[in-house]
């Protein structure tokens, strides 16, 4: 069975047409399917509409979150409730065409654990959004040690193994595409053209996007914390030469204002020491940060050792 997780935030205008599109594609597969709507605190009539759809079809289920928790958490809730041996994550606004699922399912049959959809074109999105996204994914890949595929959203199919592994990551800051990349296993991509919305407008305000970006960076990189150490070393290095120059000016050139050499040396010296000190604290915090994330130390792909056999 495949579970289809649909996060919903103010989608009443386009939802019906998306659902009929999705239902049509589902009839074309041999898979049994359950569809899980996750209403993420919609302020419009999405919930009423969802309930109506669920009444008409027993394979459609819903979870109504108590308020707007954000897309990533809504999808996480859907994964928690999904029963299928495969789970498809897809936006409910029509931007991710359900027809791509056949290609993705074919890849799953080849033995992949994760098949994500990679967009080769993005319609209907502002130039600023495309530009910031492009820059951001490049930057993120530079500062993280895991490979987060570029040009992918959360549109993907994962299998039960990956879903269970994902549930072992208890972190509160969710960045699913990063977390799934972190998990490893066998992953591959299919490409698709990202369409425009069916109706309504984006629920991802720039505020929400910045928050997601910060979650992504802080969850997968300690580089910002390391910045203090790096700048400390850099300033201390420059400071050393400045101190030499100050002494040179004071004792050899004798071109100085009274009080200037001692002041300069104190400021440069203390500045360097302070940055290094902050950096040192940063190094410890980054390690604390790694530990409080409570991620599993490793995940096993395959073994022939019986996990239940005691020794």
Binding residues for Mg ion, rule: CB under 5 A, are 91, 93, 95
92 lies in the binding site for ligand UDP (CB under 6 A): yes
Site string for ligand UDP, 202-221 (x = CB under 6 A): xxx-----------------
As measured in angstroms, the least distance from the Cβ of 51 to ligand UDP is: 17
Contacting residues for 32 by C-beta, under 8 A, at least 6 apart: 1, 2
Could you tell me which stretch among 27-35, 91-99, 142-150, 282-290 binds ligand UDP (CB under 6 A)?
Answer: 91-99
Structural contact between residues 102 and 117, judged by C-beta atoms closer than 8 angstroms: no
Nearest to 48 by CA among 93, 11, 3: 11
Which x/- pattern over 113-142 shows residues binding ligand UDP (rule: CB under 6 A)?
------------------------------
Give least dist CB 8 to ligand UDP, A: 5
Q: Are 99 and 110 in contact (CB under 8 A)?
A: no
Separation CA 287–CA 125 (nearest Å): 38
Q: Where are the alpha helices (DSSP H) in the chain?
A: 12-27, 46-56, 71-81, 101-109, 127-143, 160-167, 176-183, 206-220, 223-248, 260-292
Q: Does 40 bind ligand UDP (CB under 6 A)?
A: yes
* Span from 21-29, 196-204, 249-257, 296-304 in contact with ligand UDP (CB under 6 A): 196-204
**In the complex, least distance from residue 310 CB atom to ligand UDP, rounded to whole angstroms:** 44
Q: In what order do the strands lie in the sheet with 86-89?
A: 60-64, 33-39, 2-8, 86-89, 152-159, 114-122, 187-194
Considering the rule CB under 6 A, would residue 8 count as an interface residue with ligand UDP? yes
Q: Please choose which of Mg ion, ligand UDP, none residue 261 contacts, taking the beta carbon within 5 to 8 angstroms, the exact cut-off set by kind.
A: none
Structure tokens that stand for 105 in this block: 């399912």
- Do 152 and 197 form a contact (C-beta atoms < 8 A)? no
Does 70 interact with ligand UDP (rule: CB under 6 A)? yes
Could you list the residues that contact ligand UDP (CB under 6 A)? Answer: 7-9, 11, 40, 68, 70-71, 74, 91-93, 95, 202-204
């Amino acid at each position: 069975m495949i579970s289809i997780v649909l996060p919903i935030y103010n989608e009443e205008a386009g939802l019906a047409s998306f659902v009929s599109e999705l239902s049509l594609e589902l009839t074309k597969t041999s898979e049994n399917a359950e569809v899980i709507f996750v209403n993420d605190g919609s302020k419009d009539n999405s919930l009423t509409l969802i309930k109506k759809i669920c009444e008409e079809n027993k394979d459609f289920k819903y979870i109504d979150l108590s308020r707007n928790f954000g897309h990533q958490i809504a999808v996480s809730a859907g994964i928690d409730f999904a029963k299928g041996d495969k789970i498809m994550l897809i936006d409910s606004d029509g931007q991710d065409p359900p027809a791509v699922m056949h290609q993705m399912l074919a890849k799953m049959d080849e033995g992949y654990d994760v098949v994500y959809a990679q967009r080769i074109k993005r319609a209907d999105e502002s130039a600023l959004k495309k530009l910031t996204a492009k820059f951001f994914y490049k930057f993120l890949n530079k500062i993280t040690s895991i490979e987060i595929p570029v040009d992918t959203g959360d549109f993907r199919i994962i299998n039960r193994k990956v879903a269970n592994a994902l549930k072992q990551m208890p972190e509160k800051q969710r960045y699913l595409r990063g977390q799934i990349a972190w998990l490893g296993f066998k992953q591959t991509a299919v490409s698709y053209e990202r369409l425009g919305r069916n109706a309504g407008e984006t629920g991802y305000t720039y505020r929400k996007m910045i928050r997601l970006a910060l979650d992504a960076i802080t969850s997968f990189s300690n580089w910002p914390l390391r910045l203090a150490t790096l700048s400390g070393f850099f300033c201390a290095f420059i400071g050393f030469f400045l101190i030499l120059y100050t002494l040179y000016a004071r004792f050899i050139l004798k071109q100085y204002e009274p009080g200037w050499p001692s002041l300069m040396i104190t400021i440069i010296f203390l500045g360097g020491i302070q940055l290094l000190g902050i950096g040192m604290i940063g190094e410890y915090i980054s390690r604390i940060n790694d530990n409080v994330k409570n991620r599993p130390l490793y995940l096993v792909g395959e073994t022939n050792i019986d996990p239940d056999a005691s020794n």
